[in-house]
């Protein structure tokens, strides 16, 4: 497994060298964490949502990350303008349908955004991916009630309809594009006890998509780095407050050797 590991590490080094500007329209809960995760990884984050400026900001950014966690009318207006602009300029779009399936509003907004500008990468938990694919998935707020494997078929359907790479986060992460599948078995269950770890995965996927236009690879690499940094951070102290701190420290200091030794990736 040396080769995929080295391929991933090359992307990490590109991010550290280029510090790509990642434009985030994301939720209030995680803005601070996701900005810090992007900084720790080596990217340059900005949170910009006003309809008055998102189009101009997209044009200077290397990737757009859209996350509907605490959406409202103003943010949705900004998301639409930004996604359309990113599409027009060929900038990668990463979409996180937080809590889709929980309300009609989230379903409607997600459908509108997908139709307006199909994302290059979609990342969610199993419940969200199933709901986004139009399945009658049970959701519990922003948490999933399913293992990630249960959403594989939904992910494949989404990928086929929108052409997107689809990531299902869970104990094993699935990265799906057409009939291709990668699985990352890194990470730790304690990560679900820190708010916004999924949103952080989405944000750093933005950074990988900015340096690697093979979006199947970009998404896979992001999930591998996310899982490994989380896993190593939990090993330092398995408690949620410390995990948040140690996650950033670990991501910032991550070495290729640590990474290679920890990676659990299979592809088909």
For a copy of itself, the closer of residues 52 and 261 by Cβ is 52
For a copy of itself, the closer of residues 90 and 141 by Cβ is 141
Provide the minimum distance between the beta carbon of 226 and a copy of itself in the complex, in angstroms, as a whole number.
15
Asked if 52 interacts with a copy of itself (CB under 8 A), we say: yes
DSSP notation for the chain: -HHHHHHHHHHHHHHHHH--EEEEE--TTTHHHHHHHHHHHT-EEEE---TTTHHHHHHH-SEEEEE-TT--HHHHHHHHHHHHHHHHHT--EEEE-TTTTS-HHHHHHHHHHHHHS--SEEEEEHHHHHHHTT----EETTEESS-GGGGHHHHHHHHHHH--EEEEESSSEEEEETTEEEEE----GGGGGSTTHHHHHHHHHHHHHHH-S-HHHHHHHHHHHHHHHHHHHHHH--SHHHHHHHHHHHHHH--HHHHHHH--EEE-
Provide the minimum distance between the beta carbon of 176 and a copy of itself in the complex, in angstroms, as a whole number.
27
Asked if 249 interacts with a copy of itself (CB under 8 A), we say: yes
Asked if 21 interacts with a copy of itself (CB under 8 A), we say: yes
For a copy of itself, the closer of residues 182 and 232 by Cβ is 232
Provide the minimum distance between the beta carbon of 216 and a copy of itself in the complex, in angstroms, as a whole number.
27
Asked if 39 interacts with a copy of itself (CB under 8 A), we say: yes
Pick from 248, 254, 263, 265: which binds a copy of itself (CB under 8 A)?
248
Asked if 244 interacts with a copy of itself (CB under 8 A), we say: yes
Asked if 136 interacts with a copy of itself (CB under 8 A), we say: no
Binding site for a copy of itself (CB under 8 A): 19, 21, 23, 27-33, 35-36, 39-40, 44-53, 56-57, 60-61, 69-74, 78, 99, 102-106, 140-143, 192-196, 237, 239-242, 244-249, 252-253
């Amino acid at each position: 497994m040396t080769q995929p590991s080295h391929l991933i590490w090359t992307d990490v080094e590109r991010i550290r060298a280029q510090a790509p500007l990642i434009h985030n329209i994301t939720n209030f809960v995680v803005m601070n964490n996701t900005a810090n995760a992007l900084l720790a990884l080596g990217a340059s984050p900005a949170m910009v949502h006003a309809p008055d400026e998102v189009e101009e900001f997209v044009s200077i950014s290397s990737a757009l990350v859209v996350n509907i966690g605490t959406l409202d009318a103003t943010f949705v207006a900004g998301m639409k303008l930004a996604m359309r602009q990113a599409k027009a300029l060929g900038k990668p779009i990463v979409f996180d349908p937080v809590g889709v399936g929980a309300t009609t509003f989230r379903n409607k907004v997600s459908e509108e955004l997908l139709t307006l500008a199909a994302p290059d990468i979609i990342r969610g938990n199993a419940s969200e991916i199933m709901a986004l694919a139009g399945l009658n998935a049970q959701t519990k707020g922003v948490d999933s009630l399913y293992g990630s494997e249960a959403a594989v078929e939904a992910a494949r359907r989404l990928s086929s309809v929108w052409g997107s790479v689809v990531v299902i986060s869970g104990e094993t992460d699935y990265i799906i594009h057409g009939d291709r599948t990668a699985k990352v078995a890194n990470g730790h269950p304690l990560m679900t006890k820190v708010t916004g770890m999924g949103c952080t995965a989405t944000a750093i996927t933005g950074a990988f998509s900015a340096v690697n236009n093979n979006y199947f690879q970009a998404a896979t690499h992001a999930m591998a780095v996310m899982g490994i940094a989380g896993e190593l951070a939990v090993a330092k102290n398995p408690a949620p407050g410390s995990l948040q701190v140690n996650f950033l420290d670990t991501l910032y200091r991550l070495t290729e050797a640590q990474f290679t030794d920890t990676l659990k990736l299979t592809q088909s």
